[in-house]
Amino acid sequence: MPNIDNALKRPLVVLLCILLGLIILIGSFPNQSQWFIARTLVNSAEGYDNYIQNYPNSPYLDQASWRRARLKNDPVLYLDFAADFPKHPQRELALWTAAKKLRDPAVYAEYLKQFPEGSQAKAEGFNVNRLRISATVYNNEQKRLAGLNYGKVVDSEGHTYRSIQIGKLTWLADNLNLNVDGASSCFLNHEAYCDRFGKLYNWLGAQDACAKLGEGWRLPSLEEWEALCLNYDPAGNLDKGSSKVFQALLKGGKSGLEARGGGYFTPEGGFIGVYFDAAYWTSSPANGLESYEIVFLGREKRTFKAIAERAYALSCRCVRN
């Protein structure tokens, strides 16, 4: 008569042997076994995150990184993949996917730098010549900016600005974005406009904001704005409006001041002019209720001086000696 106890024990022994063998296999080949688990049993972005973190020298790192990027569909991960694996066959697809998602001229330029023929873009029906134009404009702008000796200024709220020496003064090359309670606002009261164009200030708020920027910083006077403009239009046409000053001081101009169309606010008209027009406070009073401003009219392409009520909300640049 067969021994029933032994018959029942045999499958258990076999199972234990298999488990022991798997444990030995996992211990002997951790990369391979963990990759098998991550790929076939887990197959999630989080699983690949853990695998990449725990096995940074794995021979399967490229596959794990590619699968993670595709599952998360994150343009940053696509860019990281393209940078980390320059010889991978999916590198062009990764760069192109990031470019499509970000719509950033810098990424388009990098894609065409690495893949001048733009095969992936062509395969998806994109006009590569238009991409080349965008990339060329971007590269030319980077060369222009590289020729300007910008400094760096950080305010108490952590905002970073460029600064540039023009004549005897150092000017902010970005619109100020420091908060002044009750005296500053965003265009249409939307934070996205502040991120792009800086805040708008009433006259007293602009002076307070420049003082908050740090020791020596102040709101420039009308005379200092006029001296700046004379560098680019010796005839001095700020009363009638100067196209030469407009071109030189505007974003992309040769001065490096990078004036931008941040718009402005008046109690009568509300928020107007964003993307096209800009107005900057000077510290110079015109009379008891108004002060001088420097105005950029985008559609007319000219810069001139004018007078604004002190309750208006305008952009702000600061200077120091």
pLDDT at 50: 86
Summarize the confidence of residues 112-116 as an average pLDDT.
95
Query: Are both 111 and 61 inside the same structural domain?
Result: no
Residue 317 and residue 221: Cα distance in Å, rounded? 11
Gap between the Cα atoms of 248 and 198, Å rounded: 20
| End position of a domain, from candidates 45, 72, 99 | 72
Classify residue 165: in a domain, yes or no: yes
Same domain? For 164 and 263 the reply is: yes
Whether 116 has a pLDDT exceeding 70, the answer reads yes
Query: What's the average model confidence in pLDDT over 142-159?
Result: 92
Average pLDDT, the chain: 90
pLDDT for the residue 94: 96
Clarify whether residues 121 and 257 are in a common domain. no
Q: What is the mean pLDDT of residues 68-95?
A: 94
Mark whether 220 and 252 lie in a shared domain: yes
Query: Are 101 and 15 in the same domain?
Result: no
- 194 and 46, same structural domain? no
Has residue 85 got a pLDDT over 60? Answer: yes
Q: What is the pLDDT of residue 18?
A: 58
Asked if 297 and 230 sit in the same domain, the reply is yes
In a domain, 5, yes or no: no
Average of per-residue pLDDT across 167-185: 97
pLDDT > 90? residue 28: no
41-52 tens-digit pLDDT: 768 888 888 888
Please check whether residue 197 lies inside any domain of the structure. Answer: yes
146 pLDDT more than 80 = yes
For residue 38, the model assigns a pLDDT of 64
Give pLDDT, residue 42.
Answer: 65
Given a cut of 60, whether residue 7 has pLDDT beyond it is: no
Which band of pLDDT confidence, cut at 50, 70 and 90, is reported for residue 14? Answer: low
Q: What is the pLDDT of residue 17?
A: 54
Structure tokens at 28: 């002997």
Q: Does one domain contain both 110 and 215? A: no
Looking at per-residue confidence, does 261 or 54 come out higher? 261
pTM: 0.68
- Domain end call among 102, 128, 147: 147
Q: How confident is the model at residue 235 (pLDDT cuts 50, 70, 90)?
A: confident
Rg, the chain, Cα only: 30
Residue 84 domain flag: no
The DSSP bridge pattern shows strands 270-274 and 278-285 to be unpaired
pLDDT value of position 289:
96
Residue 9: is its pLDDT beyond 60?
A: no
Mean pLDDT of 112-139: 94
Domain edge (last residue) among 46, 72, 98: 72
Q: How many domains are contained in the chain?
A: 3
Confidence of residue 270 (pLDDT cuts 50, 70, 90): very high
pLDDT at 278 over 70: yes
Specify the pLDDT at position 19: 53
Residue 129 has pLDDT above 50, yes or no: yes
Q: Which domain holds residue 256?
A: 151-320
Amino acid 72: pLDDT: 93
Angle at 189 between CA 183 and CA 193, to 5 degrees: 100
Q: Of the given ranges (27-36, 87-96, 116-125, 277-286), which has the lowest mean pLDDT? A: 27-36
**Taking a C-beta distance cutoff of 8 angstroms, is the pair 39, 31 a contact?**
no
pLDDT of residue 24: 47
Are 134 and 155 in a shared domain?
Answer: no
Range of weakest confidence among 34-43, 100-109, 266-275:
34-43
State the pLDDT at residue 12: 60
> Are 208 and 243 within one domain?
yes
